[in-house]
Amino acid sequence: MAKFYYKALKDNKIAIDGEVEAATPREARAKIRDLGYLPTSIYSEEAREKPAKPDVVKDVRVKRLSLQEKMLFTSELQVLLSSGIPIIEALHSIEINTPKRKLMIIARNLRKGIECGLTFSKSMEQYRHIFGPVFMGLCISGEASGELEQTLDRMLGIFNKQDWLKGKIIRAMIYPSILVLMMGALLALFAFWIFPVLKSIAGDSVPASAQALCDFTLFTFRYGLWILAAAAGAWHAAVNVFQNTQLKKAWDSFIMRVPLISQFLRYCNLSNFLSVLSVSYDAGVPVVEGINLAEQTLKSFSLKQKTANVLSRIKQGLSLTDSFSRADMLPSDVIMIVSTGEKSGTLGQMLKNASELMDKKVNMAVEAMARLIEPVIIIVIGIFVGFIALSFYSTIMGAMMGAF
């Protein structure tokens, strides 16, 4: 029988190593499991004497993941853990099966951290900048309560909601974008083909409006790359300027006073806030800590300030309903739902219902903005088409006069 060396986890936490005698690696793995250990790697005596291959992804740092990649990783890990597969083997399965190289690197580094004796949440700390404080906080509470797979399922629900909101906004902008593209195509058609032909006939009698239209289009196409570069530079400069906290507060104060837009932004922020608060409460996180986690999702400074007021009042002994009501943070119908949950002892379910209500409000706000944007764009296009028609008519008249 051959001698096999192994590394394993004792009680799913303590990393150990040793050796067993077996005919095949499969038999060696079975013997290690019979000892009560979770094998993480098995190799023969010959393989042990060979020099180890370099780790090609050891020093690779993953800087960011798209929302779809986060959803894919969380979904795969949740399904594997729910099937009863140990976390080491679940991460190894993701590592060897995922088509995404970034996810392979993350799964591999997490697995190595756990094999070295770290918990899953401790190993995840290296990717806090990617998954965010909410994910990390929920993972810590889920691991402590032994419900990591349920916590991952709840986190997947939050990711799905973010994806739904993003898709809703994109779908609302499709029709206006098509109209703008059609307007650009019409402009190019007249400026590059129709007006030049008429200009050759009319000679110097081309109206100023048609000449200005041709010059503008020609300038845009000739220096388009420079214009895009200047726009990108201006955007980058604006982003850097808005890193200033006071300026961000001033902008937030202004934008939260704009009708309809302020309502949409407020509902989006509160929808994310209530989703995280509901998930954290179901995961067994204390209310104060759950509010702190939910506060991480807020982008509005005014809502952050109101959240601080809510926490202050809760620490003074007020109920969650009274704290939200006095801070004037949530709509009255949402506060009624939270109050019902507190009185009936079903706060978790009521927070989930409040989150779903805010989702409906977000949906209505998006539709309202879409209904507002469409007529505005139609009016702008009407003015634009009228200008082109006037220029075209004037050019035709000039060409007819030149012909005679």
| pLDDT digits 0-9 by tens, 319-363 | 889 998 888 888 888 899 989 988 888 888 888 898 888 888 888
Express each pLDDT in 128-179 by its tens digit. Answer: 888 888 888 888 877 777 778 888 888 888 888 888 878 877 887 787 788 7
Domain boundaries, the chain: 2-49, 67-158, 172-404
Is CATH 3.40.50.2020 what the domain over 172-404 is classified as, yes or no? no
Give the SS3 label for residue 233: helix
Residue 233 pLDDT > 80:
yes
Tokens 């179901």, located at residue: 282
Average pLDDT over every residue of 191-220 = 71
369 vs 232, residue with greater confidence: 232
Please give the mean pLDDT across all residues of the chain.
Answer: 80
Q: What is the mean pLDDT of residues 374-392?
A: 79
Angstrom distance (rounded) from CA 148 to CA 91: 14
Residue 52, pLDDT > 60, answer no
Contacts 24+ apart (CB under 8 A), 317-321: 320/287, 320/347
The architecture that CATH gives domain 67-158 is Up-down Bundle (1.20)
pTM check: above 0.75: no
- Could you tell me if 142 and 283 are in contact, meaning their C-beta atoms sit under 8 angstroms apart? yes
Overall average pLDDT of the 30-54 stretch: 64
Please enumerate in sequence order all residues whose Cβ is within 8 A of that of 67, keeping only pairs 6 or more positions apart, or say none: 159, 162, 163, 166
Residue bearing tokens 């994806």: 163
Contact 281, 347 (CB under 8 A): yes
The confidence band for 11, taking pLDDT boundaries of 50, 70 and 90, is low
Q: Confirm whether 67-158 and 172-404 share one CATH topology.
A: yes
pLDDT band at 58 (very low <50, low <70, confident <90, very high): very low
Most confident of 194-203, 234-243, 306-315: 306-315
